Structure 1
Amino acid sequence: MIKVGIIGGAGYTAGELLRILLYHPQTEIIFVHSSSNAGNTVSDVHVDLLGDTGLKFTSTMPLSDVDVIFLCMGHGKSKEFIEKNELPGRLKVVDLSHDFRLKREGNEFVYGLPELNREEIKTAKKIANPGCFATGIQLALLPLAAGNLLVDEVHVQAITGSTGAGQKPTETSHFSWRNSNLSAYKIFEHQHQGEILQSLGQLQPGFSNGFNFVPIRGTHTRGIFVSAYTKFEGPLEEANELYQAFYIGHPFVVLSEKNPSLKQVVNTNKAVLYLEKHHDKLVIISLTDNLIKGASGQAVQNMNLMFGLDEKAGLNLKPVAF
């Protein structure tokens, strides 16, 4: 069994991670760290786990007792943790913050998008789990980049659920403000743009045709609805064949023949893609659950690859559907 530690265990992503790992066939959760909840039962915070576990939050982090740790502490805190703690040589790390997603000198983390870097992930000791928007958008565009077919500006609009803002209440996540409301934010300046452009450039070196991303806060709780379009000269059949070929062997990416809806992916690690062609434009719809494929599920997918397990282990999750 793979012995697991979770650091920063009180937030939404940690809660989903716990839900998945408790029923994973090859994992045993050794500790769940939360300095603000130490001594409390995990199900006191993650109430959906009532009756599923008697685990309690700890203030200690016995790193030598585990094989892998998941860092769910929030942006900026993972880097501080890595700098302050001497990690056992055999310990593997999956970080769910944005601290290590961008390549720079001295960064030992592999970018953890399996559909892009599967082979590197298999041999990695440290993984930077992608962002939620970044996951859905990249899956919509990677096949085009791999074929050097991003020949014009790319336009993306993506709507996210309220859980994307995290557990801590803010002005724009308050129910009374968010319910029956829509708002755009960080237009053309979202923090996930860097990792998206990094990956597109990895497959299509020199890509510089323009990337225009408008993020939108939705009224729903979870799920990301991405609509992207760009110039594509070939017929729709050619585009579908391109996407099918690129995602062969990647079990969580599904191409739909019908225009899909968000509830088809909520509660799953799936990404559902759908293509339409209008004049010289290819439209790509990409649907993911921001907490699972966009965070905790993808983190477990990465762990599976790192330990040589079936990529789908613990991730055969059913969508909510209605």
Structure 2
Amino acid sequence: MKINIGIIGGAGYTGGELLRILLNHPQANISFVNSKSQAGKPVYHTHGDLLGETELTFADEQDFSKADVLFLCSGHNESKKFLAANVIPESVKIIDLSTDFRDESEGFVYGLPELQREKIKTANKIANPGCFATSIELALLPLAQAGLLKDDVHVSAITGSTGAGQSLSATTHFSWRNNNISIYKAFTHQHLKEINQSLQALQADFGKAINFIPYRGNFTRGIMANVYTKFDGTIQEAQELYKAYYAAHPFTHVSEASEIDLKQVVNTNKCILHLEKHGDNLLISSVIDNLTKGASGQAVQNMNLIFGLDETTGLKLKPVGF
């Protein structure tokens, strides 16, 4: 059975990644891809990596009856406007990649499979998690499930330039970003709300501070989040806890190597975690690709779960290691 797919806002980074994955997904049929700015143009004119992969053309209009699932890839606050302006048949599943419904309002389910896979399977509307949120939540969920988040959490995380989206700004120009690094939204990043929500879903009494310092990196793809908090157990106990939590989750892996790096996950739907014990602190390093596990890959993982497919279908992607 083919899944008929509609994409709204297909000209941006997440739309391009979604197309790349779905064009090679054995059960996917892309019925239409919408872009107001690129309507009438071949998809490969915008996404040059898709030259020779598809003859799809961006459309301005869309026939929702042709879709089993609708991916919303427009900017934040645009999904609410789109859904308010259009009547979507109840039979069409919706997967939103913006921040608009991550509080699980209006019937949306928060789409982090490692947190609530069974709930996702029966959902009609999915709010795809944020990229920083995904990397940080995966670093902390095993502790929350065990009720072991007893102190403040400290996070230092760096993201590639694609995390800012395709629209140009002063901090996304190559001449500014290259050979440069900066922090932004220290302690106030918008993903903190969904991170707290997810942790409290497993540990209801968690109310400590999450001290989050986000960095802009001078590379294009990937997130490394270094997270530490107090932990009374040994490193062996921590590793056992994390391996047990993620044993049934195919994309999240605990590495016992001396270190991990971004090239292990870029271009994949993986999250790799690394644990170290320093005094009373447990340091959890978490690496993901912000455009795949942090966005479009996770959206396809959610689609697979909704339609009863193995969640790895179309997502067995190899990293570019060198």
Q: TM-score band, normalised by the shorter chain?
A: over 0.9
1:51 aligns with 2:58: no
Show the counterpart of 2:120. 121
Q: Could you tell me whether the CA contact under 8 Å between 2:4 and 2:67 is conserved in 1?
A: yes
Q: What secondary structure sits across from 2:135 in the alignment?
A: helix
> In the alignment, residue 163 of structure 2 is paired with which amino acid?
G
Is 1:182 aligned with 2:181? Answer: yes
Q: Which amino acid aligns with 1:219?
A: N
C-alpha distance in structure 2 between counterparts of 1:64 and 1:197, whole Å: 37
**Distance (whole Å) between structure 2 residues aligned to residue 206 and residue 172 of structure 1:** 38
Residues 48-74 of structure 1 deviation map (CA, whole Å, 9 limit, x = unaligned)? 000000000001111011100100011
1:156-195 mapped onto 2 (5 Å cutoff): 156-195=155-194
Runs (4+) of structure 1 exceeding 4 A deviation are none
TM-score (norm 2): 0.99
* Percentage of identical aligned residues: 62
The amino acid of 1:175's aligned partner reads F
Aligned partners of 2:320 and 2:172: how far apart in 1? 23
Residue by residue, what CA displacement relative to the aligned partner does 1:193-252 show, whole Å, maximum 9, x if unpaired? 000000011111021121100000001110000000000000000000000111111000
CA-CA distance at 1:103 after TM superposition: 3.5
Give the match for residue 314 of structure 2: 314
Deviation of 1:83 after TM superposition, in Å, equals: 1.4
Structure-1-length-normalised TM-score: 0.99
Alignment of 1:1-322 (within 5 A): 1-104=2-105, 107-258=106-257, 259-322=259-322
How far, CA to CA, are the matches of 2:104 and 2:113 in structure 1? 17
Maintained 8 Å contact 2:104/2:127: no
Structure 1, unmatched stretches of 5+, are none
Unaligned runs of 5+ in 2: none
2:107 is paired with a residue of what secondary structure?
coil
Per mean C-alpha deviation after superposition, the further-off stretch among 225-234 and 203-212 is: 203-212
The 2-side partners of 1:217 and 1:182 are apart by: 6
CA distance in 2, matches of 1:227, 1:36: 38
Secondary structure of the structure 2 residue equivalent to 1:57: coil
1:298 partner amino acid: Q
Q: Deviations over 1:3-45 (max 9, x none)?
A: 0000001000000000000000000001000011111000000
Structure 2 counterpart of 1:58, which letter? A
